[in-house]
A and B are shown apart, each in its own frame.
Chain A
Amino acid sequence: MNRGVPAVGTALVVGATGDIGRAVARRLGRDGWELQLAARDSQRLEAEAQDLRLRGVTVTTYDCDVLQEAGPLALIDALPAAPDVAVCTVGALGDQPHDEKDWRAAERVMRANYLGPALLMGALANRFEERGHGVLVGISSIAGERGRRSNYIYGSAKSGFTAFLSGLRSRLHRSGVCVVTVIPGYVRTRMTDHLELPALLTATPEDVADAIVVAIRKRRNVVYVGRVWRDVALVVRAIPESIFKRIPL
């Protein structure tokens, strides 16, 4: 069933200088997509665009700070045409023990993982809905499945984003617009560079990009990067709160 989205077309990647954003852009570029890349640091963004152009990809770049209140709308206004697919890879882990005592830092984490991405997806959704087709891909996190003491600021924002995407998907499901929630577990990126992660459970940014490409093609709803994480999510959600609160996770 073709819901009006071609196999390739134009894709917007927001957060295109991050590790996952770079991997997604390269993968889509290799598959023949035209790219609209958006990020905060225009100099670094230009380096990524140049790399992709040398690989034969048609690329345009847009300055966009999703953390700024006006960021999402300014980006959408800057685009010459609404893309067929939009992937939002924006996010920030923060430093939980520090952020618990620094509300500004906590707010930044919430902004980077929830407010900014959700408002951006929402604004794009309205465009896509008017037009009657499009795929929105938001990258949430396994951390959003349940608030844990070790990272509940980040987790709560991701949880909010997951819920937002879920509602958006439901709202748009008859409109021809498809909303994909990507839920990675551990991914080795700049965000996790300092963490010791279990090698067998840790995905690469390229794994995430591959999962996204499949999800776009197959119009998936929710995609866990690595099947084991779906089971982890099921277990984590099933534990009664009276027990969960005692588990030092």
Chain B
Amino acid sequence: MRATNLSGWGRYPVCGCQLATLRREEQLAEWAASSTMIARGNGRSYGDAALNPELTLSMLAMNRLLAFDANQGVVSCEAGVLLADLLKLYVPQGWFPPVVPGTAEVTVGGMIAADVHGKNHHRDGSFGRHVESLRLATGNGGVLTCTREENADLFRATIGGMGLTGVILSASFRMCRIESEYVRTETLGTPDLAATMAMLETSNDQRYSVAWIDGRAKGGDLGRGLVSRGDFATADDGSARRAAHRSRDGGRRQLPIPALLSVALNPVSVRLFDALYNRVGRSQRGSRLVHHTSFFFPLDRVPGWNRLYGRRGFVQYQCVLPTSQSSQGLQAILERVEKSGQIAYLGVLKLLGEQGEGMMSFPMPGYTLALDFPVRRGTLELLDSLDEITAAHGGRVYLAKDARCRGDHVRQGYPDLPLFGDVRRRSTNATYDFSSAMSRRLGL
């Protein structure tokens, strides 16, 4: 254990923490004396979810595979296994995780704790839905196996529970079959918010869909964007083979960031958007084959892009609004941002499907919008006002992205929070208490 400064992916806030690394589960007993702790994966939640000044427990060394059922595609692994590691191993064997977030640099434990969603949420739900079982180190020092049958309420509390029910040690989940490493995708430009939403709705029959919103658009252009949709290519998609030949590297090459760029104000995501927008503008119609890594994880090609926002870091505002309120609410949010003069470099808009299975799962049927803001004067005040709009429209913010929301908004947005609190209290006792800078900030 040592003292070190830690932050989430947004690099805001930074918090002095005692950091220890878990290498095998028996070691947990070593920290029984610590009154409180939180597990930390690869630090990809944006805010203060994986920070605890007293004890932050890195799970990155818990990265062993435990079993794989090649008939069912069920993989069991320790919680610190990286999604990128699984992809490298299983994609060539024709398996793909059921749900992937926007980066492959996340751990399995983190994906469960945040109940992450991906571009296929409207069809396949969030990650938790595909988890068959997990092993949880709880507050009384014991380890419980949790499934939908066994310790079912702890299972539901742990999915999306932000690590507050215990330390997820391992999990098993079902993957799906793919016939190709490539995704057949098309990208369509949309002139305003209504068009973007309409395009997402008509894209609902596709397996993967998402829209990128131009954060710098003004007035009638608000909400203009690019809708990207697609599915894995089939084996007999002849051009899939051609593509495989053409680009062996499959877009996996990492782009280095020149040191100078890191002080530039224009982040990569905007460049990426502009490049894409122009390409679509040049009317590159029809579908293309792209490697799955550039389809799902475009920003992973720029390691450390979060540093481009400078020393003060950035915050991401991600909320979901129920379907009936989405149009009005999203318009209000984008107008509020425009009026504030703050720059949201990039927005991501996605039509979500079902309510997540976890008590604290973020997804609900409706639209989710994510906006990145560099932390400047007035940024946090703006986000407070966005909270009001979100709340007024019956929505909620995503805890995995949050660094600053008030507890009352979270209590209002997550109706199962009292139930979650009960389960969590039952799982926690004098031996271990699981809490984070986030849970204290929100009074969870």
Contact = CB atoms under 8 A, between A and B. Distances in A.
Interface of A: 19, 44, 47-48, 50-51, 54-56, 190, 193-196
B4 interface: yes
Contacts of B23: 19, 190
Interface string B306-328: 00000000000000000000000
9 contacts: A48-B64, A50-B65, A51-B64, A54-B89, A56-B89, A190-B23, A193-B20, A193-B21, A196-B3
A55 B21 CA distance: 24
Contacts of A194: 1-2
B390 to A, nearest CB: 38
Contacts of A51: 64-66
Given A44-B24, A190-B21, A50 B64 contact: yes
B4 A196 contact: yes
A55 B89 contact: yes
B79 to A, nearest CB: 14
Nearest to B24: A44
Contact of A50 (B1, B4, B21, B66): B66
Contacts of A55: 65, 89
Q: Is the interface of B mostly helix, strand, loop or mixed?
A: strand
Contacts of B61: 19
A196 B3 CA distance: 7
A193 B1 contact: yes
Contacts of A54: 65-68, 89
Contacts of A195: 2
Contacts, number: 33
A193 B55 CA distance: 14
A6 to B, nearest CB: 24
Given A55-B89, A193-B20, A193-B21, A47 B64 contact: yes
Nearest to A56: B89
A31 to B, nearest CB: 14
Contacts of A47: 24, 64
Contacts of B24: 44, 47
A193 B65 contact: no
A238 to B, nearest CB: 32
A186 B2 CA distance: 15
A19 B62 CA distance: 11
Interface in B80-129: 89
A193 B64 contact: no
Nearest to A55: B89
A51 B89 CA distance: 12
Interface string B329-350: 0000000000000000000000
Interface string B351-375: 0000000000000000000000000
Given A54-B67, A190-B21, A196 B89 contact: no
Contacts of A50: 64-67
B143 to A, nearest CB: 15
A19 B61 CA distance: 8
Contacts of B20: 193
